[in-house]
Amino acid sequence: MSDKLTGAGIIVEELIRAGADKIFGYPGGSVLDIYDELYLAKDRITHYITAHEQGAAHAADGYARATGKTGVVIATSGPGATNLVTGISTAYLDSVPLVAITGNVATDFIGRDSFQEVNIVGITMPVTKHNYIVNDVRDLQRTIREAFRIASGGRPGPVLIDVPKDVQRSSVEYDGAVSFDLPGADNAVLDLKEAIKLIKNAKRPCIYAGGGVIISEASEELSKFAKVIDAPITASLMGLTAEPYYHDGFLGMAGMHGKYAASKAVAECDLLIAIGTRFSDRATGNKQKFLGEGRKVLQFDIDRAEINKNIRADAYVIGDVKKILSELIKSGGLDGINNKKWLDYVKSLKAIPENNIEHSDKSLPPKFVIESAKSVFGADAVVATDVGQHQMWTAQYYGFEKPRSFMTSGGLGTMGYGMGAAIGAAIGSGKRALLFTSDGSFHMNLNELATAVSHNIPLTIILFDNNALGMVRQWQKMFYARRYSQTTLNRKTDYVKLAEAFGAKGFCASNKEELLAALNKAKKLQTPCLIRCIIDSDENVFPMIPPNGTIDDIILK
């Protein structure tokens, strides 16, 4: 049996049927009909209004990363839609499933420079998996279902649906009983012969795990596979949380600011097994020298476009990495492998001084801040960062133990990402969120503190205040002869008063004792709070492999 519904009603019903019971957005003239339907369905779907559409997009992104579900964001036409672009691009570069629904002017007004009209489909085409403009209400139900399949299927990513105002108001017969098909299991037969041959011939295999391991929920298979072949595990920034930090064979993040042991293992292995990773320039450094003499590369990825894109693979398997690893383990083709001598060697690197750099003896070292936060709040919190030095310090020192506990902008490097992402992750996971940010990044989207307070989000913001754009300053110091152009901020913001003005709790810490006291007070609060941590402007992120460098060029202090 079918009923007549408006396009706006179909949108809300289809969101509910897709399991999107928590969504984010900001109302406006071109989506008033959608928001009216959300009001009528408020007992079945919860909408979170943010302070800005960019914050809403990042919140939907953080929700998706924390839960594995598809995030949903809604915005009006014109500036509402364009304010989503940074969030959509962030999700696209990090393979996050997202459905963005924008309103537009009525179809008769499109192309006439109407008030708040913009071609958002054309604007977002390069940064979406697919996008639509729905000009006929009869196509709306199918389009929404397709959008969710595309967003979450294969390599995930964002999909945009633009719905003109007259389409939202038009009515059509709606059959809610039609099945809602999300992506099913991939039953393709995998050809593993070449992969098994390479692995069996290797004497020094090393695993390089990327975000694809987390997306495919393959952490357990990753651990088993590593044990079968006696291989250490390293990770990209996006691959952190794929393996518990304290596992014996996990060496940490590799790459420009990775742990010495991890980068050394990648440099000295004879077979690099890349799992769900794109080999970005920050991970590889000098691509010609990255391969190394005699080193082979085996790549597992669901996206064929990633094969040989940045680094040439000697063999590859296309498919879901969870299935690939499961099939390799079950195949029996890897039985009898013994590379324990190599594994013991790389594990021993974790104890050497180069892997455990002495950090500053200043009153409040960043390493102490991050390790103390982990000690106080434990492994169960979800952690978000903005972008810069604090992002790398968090990646190096937090010690993530559970998948989907780390939200960070890896591909686009979006300053201002963290506030929205922390809010979305807290809502999706039901856990306390920690946001590690800086005075530079925090100023970009500090307005979302209003969102956290309004929705009573259990959020603790740890703000590194070094009066500088720290990472850019570090590059200026190392590569631009200390010409600090526009990186000393000299802002007069009183962060404690600012937090209190938004309705949050504020603390300030300039030494270890004040930090520990503030962290323990924050732990007792179930409301948003901010801890300003005053650090030295000359704190640097080490190790560092310079751009286009190798492990031989690594800077340790």
Q: Which residues have a catalytic role annotated?
A: 53, 115-116, 165, 471
Helix axes 321-331, 219-229, angle to 10 degrees: 40
Q: Which residues contact 183 (CB under 8 A, 6 or more apart)?
A: 149, 152, 153, 154
User: How far is Cα of residue 268 from the mean position of the Cα atoms in its chain?
Assistant: 29
Cβ-contact 153, 183 below 8 angstroms: yes
CB neighbours (10 Å) of residue 557?
9
Per-position b or e across 440-477, b if 16+ CB within 10 A of its CB = bbbebbbbbbbbbbebebbbbbbbbbbbbbbbbbbebe
Whether cis (ω within 30° of 0) applies to the bond prior to 543 is yes
Please report, for residues 160, 330, 413, 480, the alpha-carbon distance to residue 71 in angstroms, rounded to integers and kept in the order given: 12, 34, 20, 41
- In the chain, the amino acid numbered 447 is N
Sign of the alpha-carbon torsion through 145, 149, 150, 156? positive
Cβ-contact 294, 272 below 8 angstroms: no
Cβ-contact 337, 536 below 8 angstroms: no
Q: Which residues contact 169 (CB under 8 A, 6 or more apart)?
A: 6, 7, 8, 33
Cβ-contact 100, 73 below 8 angstroms: yes
